[in-house]
Structure 1
Amino acid sequence: MTAKTETKLAQARHRVEAAARRTDTREWVVARRTRTRHLIELGGLVQKAGLVDLADDDHATLYGAMLELAAKARDENAGDVLALWKRRGKRAFDAEAEGAGNG
């Protein structure tokens, strides 16, 4: 077998293995994929809110800001704070969707 043939076989084997990984339905694989998707969405929200630029992409600053948010959400006025954040978030999503619909 030539080197070129071996390379083609290796590439084909890799494609088959990659396809199998994408369609793996074992419970732990599905759970990991779901968690990964959730984490990516959360990262997108951090980016969308402009926190990455504001903090100059400094992980310690971002983490500190998130710890501060979590502390506020645990305060005695947590219900009010969470309701306020939810309203603001919904308005921002609605405004973004409206802007995308007009553009």
Structure 2
Amino acid sequence: MKRRARTRHLIELGGLVAKSGLVELTDDDRAVLFGLLVDAAARLQGEHRDQALTLWRRRGRRAFAEAETDL
């Protein structure tokens, strides 16, 4: 991935973290945010990977749809 594309990708991922409300809910505690992501990664390595992905995908799509209606 080229530098500009990588930078854009990282900015978009950061935007998702902000959009989720986690920054405010954790008082911008980077250790907590990283811990949440590490926990999610561990869950994805477990036997319930498919169920977790399905659940999170549904929630994410619903949240995107709600955000669009709020505009």
Establish whether TM, by shorter chain, passes 0.5.
Answer: yes
TM-score, scaled relative to structure 2 = 0.91
The alignment yields a C-alpha RMSD, in angstroms, of: 1.2
Measure, in 1, the Cα distance between the counterparts of 2:23 and 2:70: 23
Q: How high is the sequence identity, in percent, across the aligned residues? A: 52
Give the counterpart letter for 1:58 in structure 2.
D
Corresponding residue for 1:99? Answer: 70
Q: Deviations over 1:8-63 (max 9, x none)?
A: xxxxxxxxxxxxxxxxxxxx7xx100000000000000011111111111111111
**Which protein, 1 or 2, shows the higher relative CO under an 8 Å CA cutoff with sep ≥ 6?**
2
Q: Select the structure of larger CA radius of gyration.
A: 1
TM-score scaled by structure 1? 0.65
Question: Distance in 2 between the 1:93 and 1:54 partners?
Answer: 19
- For 1:43-62, list aligned pairs within 5 A: 43-62=14-33
Unmatched tracts of structure 1, length 5 or more: 1-27
Instruction: Kindly report which structure 2 residues correspond to 1:1-103, keeping only aligned pairs within 5 A, or say none.
Output: 31-100=2-71
Unaligned segments of structure 2, at least 5 residues: none
| Count of aligned positions | 71
Segments of 4+ moved more than 6 angstroms:
none
